[in-house]
Structure 1
Amino acid sequence: MSARVLVLVGRGRYGDPWHDHAAQADEVARLLRADGHDVRVRSTFPTTFADLGEWVPALLVVTSGRAEDVSDTDDEWRAFHDARQELVARGAAVLGLHQAANTFADDPRWAATLGGRWVEGRSWHPPHGTATFRVVDDEHAVTWGRTAVTADDERYADLEVAPGSRVLVVADVAADEAEPHGTPGAHPVVWAAPGDGRVLYDALGHDPRSFASPDRRALLAAELAWLLEPAPAGDAS
Structure 2
Amino acid sequence: MTNVLVLAGRGRYGDPWHDHAATTDAIATLLRADGHDVVVRSTFPDALDDVRPDLLVVNSGRGPLDPAEDDDWRGFHDRRAALVAAGVPVLGVHQAANTFGDDPRWPATLGGRWVEGVSWHPPLDAATFRVLDAHHPVTAGLAEVAATDERYADLEVASASRVLLAADVAGDDGTGAHPVVWVGPGPGRVVYDALGHDVRSYSSPDRRALLRREVAWLLGR
- Alignment TM class, shorter chain as reference: over 0.9
- State the TM-score, normalized to the length of structure 1: 0.89
Aligned to 1:42: 41
Report the 3-state secondary structure (helix = DSSP H, G, I; strand = E; otherwise coil) of the residue aligned with 1:73.
helix
Deviation at 1:68, TM superposition (A): 3.0
Q: Tell me the distance in 2 between the aligned counterparts of 1:224 and 1:183.
A: 34
Q: 1:126 aligns with which of 119, 122, 128?
A: 122
Task: Mark the CA change 1:72 to 1:33 in structure 2 (over 3 Å): closer, same or farther.
Answer: farther
Aligned to 1:9: 8
Please give the per-residue CA displacement for 1:6-31, whole angstroms capped at 9, x wherever unaligned. 10001110011111111111121112
Task: Mark the CA change 1:45 to 1:72 in structure 2 (over 3 Å): closer, same or farther.
Answer: farther
Report the 3-state secondary structure (helix = DSSP H, G, I; strand = E; otherwise coil) of the residue aligned with 1:172.
strand
Q: Is the 8 A contact 2:163 2:181 kept in 1?
A: yes
Aligned length: 221
Unpaired runs of at least 5, structure 2:
none
Aligned to 1:207: 198
Aligned to 2:23: 24
- Residue identity in the other structure for 2:110: L
Deviation at 1:183, TM superposition (A): 6.9
Please give the per-residue CA displacement for 1:48-79, whole angstroms capped at 9, x wherever unaligned. 111x2xx4101100000010364851111000
Q: Is the 8 A contact 1:12 1:70 kept in 2?
A: no
Q: Is the 8 A contact 1:58 1:91 kept in 2?
A: no
Aligned to 2:168: 172
Aligned to 2:211: 220
Please give the per-residue CA displacement for 1:110-166, whole angstroms capped at 9, x wherever unaligned. 000000000000000011100110001111111010000011100000000001100
Q: Is the 8 A contact 1:172 1:186 kept in 2?
A: yes
Q: Tell me the distance in 2 between the aligned counterparts of 1:75 and 1:33.
A: 35
- Residue identity in the other structure for 1:44: T
Q: Tell me the distance in 1 between the aligned counterparts of 2:216 and 2:118.
A: 33
Unpaired runs of at least 5, structure 1:
231-237
Deviation at 1:3, TM superposition (A): 1.1
Identical positions, percent: 67
Aligned to 1:99: 95
Aligned to 2:180: 189
Task: Mark the CA change 1:43 to 1:89 in structure 2 (over 3 Å): closer, same or farther.
Answer: same
- State the TM-score, normalized to the length of structure 2: 0.96
Deviates more, 1:72-81 or 1:162-171: 72-81
Q: Tell me the distance in 2 between the aligned counterparts of 1:36 and 1:82.
A: 30
Q: Is the 8 A contact 1:158 1:183 kept in 2?
A: no
Q: Tell me the distance in 2 between the aligned counterparts of 1:168 and 1:69.
A: 31
Aligned to 1:87: 83
